[in-house]
Structure 1
Amino acid sequence: MTRVGLRFTGQCRKYSLPKFSSPITSHSYIDDDFLSLVSKENITKHIHDLGAYPSFSNILTPQHFYQNEVLLQYSQKLPHPVSLRQLAGYGRQLTKQKVLASANFVRLELPIRLAMRIRDLQTLPFGVVNNFHLAQIYESYYHLFNAFRKIPTINTLGENEEFCTVISAILDQHVFNLSHLMMGALESTIFNNLQQEDLDAFMSSMLRSRISRRVIVEEHLSLTEIHKKSPKQENPPDYIGEIFQSCNAEEHFGIVGKFIAASMAEYFPHPELMPDLIIEGDKNATFPFMVPHLHYLFGEILRNSFEATIKTHGHNKHKLPPVKITIIDSKKNVMFRISDKGGGIAHSKLKSIWSFGKSPELARESLANFHRIPGLQLYSNLQVTSAGSSIVETQLNGLGLTSVGDINKISTLTKKSTLELLITRPYKFKLGLGLPMCKVYADYWNGDLSMNSLEGYGSDTCLTLSKLGLHSNVVQLDRA
């Protein structure tokens, strides 16, 4: 019997409130007014939810173990390696046959890649996969897996239009997964359910797979749109796909710098004294990249430098030291050195900044902040909500956002890019996962991220991004 059978059949132990450890159930970082709502009467109302299967789940049922046989068949298949050059080949001169081939590739490939990640979740220790946030990811992935494996062969452009509508809607419905993944990592840290090395490997695997799936889907959507508008369009030899835009380094640092400054203006008593952003070197360097990923990389690094500078010098009444960016444009890479005078980091702590594992205290603080980020979509079961300034106002009782609450009653709001909301989040909502996330994103695209620090003075963060057009034959997208 597989581990999933032990978890989801009658042999598994009962769910309990502490195991589904959303921030609402941790008494150490919520206020007394909120705790007063969590009474015995409220818990009694939800006692039927404390069974072997989550009451809100359409997938985690007594029959799930037997349905798992279908998943096993897919998980034993191998994903098809894809390079950016192959994607570019479809886009340089499109035909009806190429568009249909791309559609059927997406249709066949995604169930395989999703099955691999579902199996990874199934083989996690019980205390990890029993986590509320990772259970939501499991539910979401299984929903996606079932949806894609049932789509028939796409033979006409009309059928492809319907297919694109479906996958666009699916992407919107499951935008919450990144938030769940990050919060699940923090809760696993609090309960010490995974060793730090295992947690980092799990997070890296899940993030890489997420990137590859979304690139494959979004590239097909863009190819379909291009063929519909300009069926005879021909692109230049260095073209590697519509979703990879030509990015000017100075321009995008300027855009992200304004985001970061705006997020801090409300909390810094003297906005006019905030650090300037000085850009030196090859300021006009251009390279192809995915703009959301680029902005996230730039944003988290700049946020750290600005925060450190304000923390170290903000008590003074004079202009704070600038944050300097040096850009070096080489044949195959673009390198960025972000230098600040924010006091630096102790050498003993440098290694830990790249890990998703945090101390329980920092993890609790980060979880609380996740729930306060305006607009960030946190809860799913395909009935989702955004976090707000007052969780109490959106729920009728203290169990509303825990595993025993009625998640289906949470209102559905407009969805936005999770990365965008993380970049523009207010300054006070520190998460502690920015650099580990950036490390994975940089590495995925054949880049690198490192930091040198002089304790008591400042830090140099070095980001190297590969010019993807020159490495488009590397099969990044096999990282399923």
Structure 2
Amino acid sequence: MATPPNSPGAQSQVAWVSKEARPISLRQLMVFGRSLNEQRLISSANYVRTELPRRIAHRLRDMQTLPYCVVANPHFNEVYELYYAAFDKFRRVPEIRTLQDNDSFCQVISSMLKAHLSVIPKLSMGILEVSADGMLPAQELDGFMNAILRSRMSRRVIAEQHLSLTETFQTPSFSTGVKDSDTEFIGKVFLKCNAAEVIQRCSQAVLDLARSAYGEDVALPEIKLAGHLDTSFPFILSHIEYIIGELLRNSVQAVIERQIRDGTASTAPPPIEVTICESSKHVVIRVSDQGGGISSDVLPYLWSFCKGPHSQRILSNLTHVPRMAATLQEVRVDEPPASEVKASTKRASYVSSLSSLTSRPPNLRLGMGLPLSRIYAEYWAGSLELQSLWGYGVDVFFQISKLGNKNEQLLTRAMVDAI
């Protein structure tokens, strides 16, 4: 894994590490993409061209400063090699000057995004193995994992935003004078993400999955929606779908499995209540269930990627997950059908992708849904909190910054050094 200190790549990495990341907000993504033209597209390409190696270099530095016994883990080593190859590739990309240059650059971005789908499972397996061997305290490993996953999320946001802007620009019907009222998306940003609609789509996907998993004889809980149902805000749809999908999936499974344990699987279970509350600056979504709560042997590890006595079981499950996109469909081994790729609108392609949620069986517990959901929530200056009452149920509170004016929450070098 070691990179020769005097090699050109190592010297280049030192230079890139000296540059802090330049965070962006949802509002900046919207404003920049609102009046898309050739000059803006090329400017976007050059931002991505210089920002990706900058952010990857910082994560390489984090891995290089870990104890050798940690980085020698084969899963960590594979991730390091992927990161170094990506850094070396992006740092060599020359300035983007033409649309043809941008097309070539987009091919590089797409190939790297696909190659890095294995990062989350590999990191998770590495963390579990290292923590089980006691090589590093769980708190330090969680700090490292949070930093590297938040950075990964940030890179995918800016990369996928540029790919989406390029796709929009190349659409035959594209007009540089398009107004916000004429479109639902600017790149990957959904301008008017309606919380109630997202919850309803995720609810249907989760209930369909539960029906296929538990069979026709098991009664499913009703998911009741209340509160400010007209609430909308700018957001990246795949992020909120992942969070809501995981929260509902956890609640539905908990309620059903409690009914099965109690011998009342065929009787109507208590509903899952989802409440939307809107203020001038925030939206809070509360998910409440009566699934029995979280047991005391699981609760201490709930937000951690280190699972203590549960590590071996989760490690075994992770071996069945070669790639993970961390979207609502979560595990995507196969490419999407052509009918999805060619959907007439971005909304249609997002909705059709929900069917892939069934890719992961319910009994394949990975222990990553809540930690990943919290990273997604905090990335745009939101939060995710949970209250459990053992023997009764769980309340989860997901807070969203609704104005889109908060920068992505990145970890600086000083913050990482303090971990």
Structure scoring higher RCO (CA < 8 A, sep ≥ 6) equals 1
User: Structure 1 residue 94 and structure 2 residue 36: aligned?
Assistant: yes
Alignment-mate amino acid for residue 306 of structure 2: G
Contact (CA 8 Å) 2:380, 2:407: kept in 1 or not?
no
Q: Name the CA distance, whole Å, in 1 between partners of 2:213 and 2:98.
A: 55
Alignment partner of 1:233 out of 172, 177, 191: 177
Contact (CA 8 Å) 1:117, 1:206: kept in 2 or not?
yes
Alignment-mate amino acid for residue 169 of structure 1: S
Q: CA distance change for structure 1 residues 428 and 471 in 2, over 3 Å: closer, same or farther?
A: same
User: Structure 1 residue 151 and structure 2 residue 99: aligned?
Assistant: no
**TM-score of the pair, normalised by structure 2:** 0.83
Q: Name the CA distance, whole Å, in 1 between partners of 2:230 and 2:296.
A: 34
Q: CA distance change for structure 1 residues 368 and 92 in 2, over 3 Å: closer, same or farther?
A: same
Task: Give the 3-state SS of the residue equivalent to 2:121 in structure 1.
Answer: helix
User: How far has the Cα of 1:424 moved from its partner?
Assistant: 4.6
User: How far has the Cα of 1:422 moved from its partner?
Assistant: 6.8
Contact (CA 8 Å) 1:338, 1:462: kept in 2 or not?
yes
Alignment-mate amino acid for residue 336 of structure 1: I
Alignment-mate amino acid for residue 294 of structure 2: I
Contact (CA 8 Å) 1:299, 1:423: kept in 2 or not?
no
Task: Give the 3-state SS of the residue equivalent to 1:121 in structure 2.
Answer: helix
> Paired residue for 2:313?
365
> Paired residue for 2:242?
296
**TM-score of the pair, normalised by structure 1:** 0.73
User: How far has the Cα of 1:351 moved from its partner?
Assistant: 5.0
Alignment partner of 2:195 out of 249, 270, 274: 249
Contact (CA 8 Å) 2:379, 2:410: kept in 1 or not?
no
Q: Name the CA distance, whole Å, in 2 between partners of 1:294 and 1:447.
A: 11
> Paired residue for 1:37?
none
Contact (CA 8 Å) 1:115, 1:145: kept in 2 or not?
yes
Identical positions, percent: 37
Q: Name the CA distance, whole Å, in 1 between partners of 2:220 and 2:72.
A: 44
Alignment-mate amino acid for residue 188 of structure 2: I
Per-residue deviation, residues 11-46 of structure 1 (Å, max 9, x unmatched)? xxxxxxxxxxxxxxxxxxxxxxxxxxxxxxxxxxxx
Q: Which has more radius of gyration?
A: 1
Q: Name the CA distance, whole Å, in 1 between partners of 2:135 and 2:52.
A: 29
Per-residue deviation, residues 340-366 of structure 1 (Å, max 9, x unmatched)? 111123578645311222114x11111
Residues matched between the structures, number: 383
User: How far has the Cα of 1:173 moved from its partner?
Assistant: 2.3
Contact (CA 8 Å) 1:88, 1:239: kept in 2 or not?
no
> Paired residue for 1:454?
389
Structure 1 unaligned regions, length at least 5: 1-6, 9-59, 379-386, 389-412
Q: Name the CA distance, whole Å, in 1 between partners of 2:79 and 2:211.
A: 35
Q: CA distance change for structure 1 residues 149 and 419 in 2, over 3 Å: closer, same or farther?
A: farther
Contact (CA 8 Å) 2:63, 2:80: kept in 1 or not?
yes
User: How far has the Cα of 1:174 moved from its partner?
Assistant: 2.1
Alignment-mate amino acid for residue 69 of structure 1: Q
User: How far has the Cα of 1:479 moved from its partner?
Assistant: 4.7
Q: CA distance change for structure 1 residues 182 and 161 in 2, over 3 Å: closer, same or farther?
A: same
Q: Name the CA distance, whole Å, in 1 between partners of 2:409 and 2:44.
A: 14
> Paired residue for 2:206?
260
Task: Give the 3-state SS of the residue equivalent to 1:194 in structure 2.
Answer: coil
> Paired residue for 2:398?
463
Alignment-mate amino acid for residue 232 of structure 1: T
The more displaced of 234-243 and 284-293 is: 234-243
Q: Name the CA distance, whole Å, in 2 between partners of 1:463 and 1:271.
A: 32
Task: Give the 3-state SS of the residue equivalent to 1:326 in structure 2.
Answer: strand
> Paired residue for 1:71?
13
Contact (CA 8 Å) 1:84, 1:240: kept in 2 or not?
no
Give the alignment of 1:375-414 within 5 angstroms.
376-377=322-323, 414=334
> Paired residue for 1:122?
64
Per-residue deviation, residues 42-72 of structure 1 (Å, max 9, x unmatched)? xxxxxxxxxxxxxxxxxx7xx5873423322
Structure 2 unaligned regions, length at least 5: 325-330, 337-349, 413-419
The more displaced of 265-274 and 84-93 is: 265-274
User: How far has the Cα of 1:462 moved from its partner?
Assistant: 1.1
Contact (CA 8 Å) 2:386, 2:394: kept in 1 or not?
yes
> Paired residue for 2:294?
345
The alignment yields a C-alpha RMSD, in angstroms, of: 2.9
Task: Give the 3-state SS of the residue equivalent to 2:117 in structure 1.
Answer: coil
